[in-house]
Amino acid sequence: MILKSAEELNLFKEKAKSNFEITEPGAMKIIVGMATCGIAAGAKPVFEALNEEIKSKNLDPDIIKVSQAGCIGLCQYEPIIEVYESGKEKVTYVKMDAEKAKEIINNHIIGGKIVVDYTIGAEITDKKKQYDTLLKKEKKITDDLDSEVVFKFERIIRNKAGIGIVAIKGNVCMGCHMILPAQFSNNVRLCEEFVFCPYCSRILFYEESPEGEEVFFNIEESGALYDPDEDDDEFEEDDKEEEKISSIEFEE
Ligand SMILES: [Zn+2]
């Protein structure tokens, strides 16, 4: 839908509002987010549990209405239910399951008491607390570090789904699975400075291969970042090594 003017937007808003408006005294409307995201998160059993509980507690389904809605827009908090009651603020419950849904019916719908622990407000407060704790921890750890490295690292973890430090095994970056020049492996092993992967930019740390043996790769064959100075006699050729080379996955 394309809204072309403020007037149209207002009309749309009023129409949407009327869908959730409760006119009958004592009536309540429970909306369950049932878009694909909601269903994938388990909205269906929640929807069923709400209806079953309403039935088993002999509530009038015309007064306490359960209906489905599309995506409520907070996919990470699904399954979500919203409770609408005349003259009151909407209450949004997140990360629902069938048991919690029954509690909502008994405590909120019948008992009139909002189950604060399950509300989005509680969820956000909880997340905020976790965030503050992590921030303090981070500060403690990074206080003595070079601020430029910290800045770079923060940028990496934002871009790389939270993984900013990866092992280099043999000459392979375990973040992007690219073969790096032997010089990188050596520098990482020396631990004298921060070494960033030239492909994925993650910080590298050295890790022995599982068998405790060193694995070297033919840099010429990797076709990238070849440095003739580093092409020394470290390259080994036996069947075992070849197996390892062929098992490496390449990504862009
Ligand atoms: Zn990499």
Q: How far apart are CA 159 and CA 175, in angstroms?
A: 13
Q: How far apart are CA 28 and CA 20, in angstroms?
A: 10
| More reliable by pLDDT, 232 or 97 | 97
201 CA from centroid of ligand 1 (Å)? 6
Strand partners, 153: none
- pLDDT of 164 higher than 60: yes
Count H helices and E strands in the chain, helices first: 9, 7
**Banded model confidence at residue 236, pLDDT cuts 50, 70, 90:** very low
CA dihedral 181, 187, 193, 198 (to 10 degrees): 10
Query: Which pLDDT score, from 0 to 100, does residue 49 have?
Result: 95
What's the whole-model pTM score? 0.56
Residues of the chain within CATH 3.40.30.10 domain(s) are: 6-121
Q: What is the pLDDT of residues 198-228, one digit of tens each?
A: 888 899 999 876 665 555 554 444 444 433 3
Q: How far apart are CA 52 and CA 108, in angstroms?
A: 16
Q: Are strands 165-169 and 203-206 parallel, antiparallel or unpaired?
A: parallel
Query: Which pLDDT score, from 0 to 100, does residue 208 have?
Result: 77
**Assigned token pair, 248:** 């490496």
135 CA from centroid of ligand 1 (Å)? 26
167 CA from centroid of ligand 1 (Å)? 9
Q: What is the pLDDT of residues 35-76, one digit of tens each?
A: 888 888 899 999 999 999 999 999 988 889 999 988 877 888
pLDDT mean across residues, the chain:
80
Q: What CATH architecture is 6-121?
A: 3-Layer(aba) Sandwich (3.40)
Q: What is the mean pLDDT of residues 137-151?
A: 88
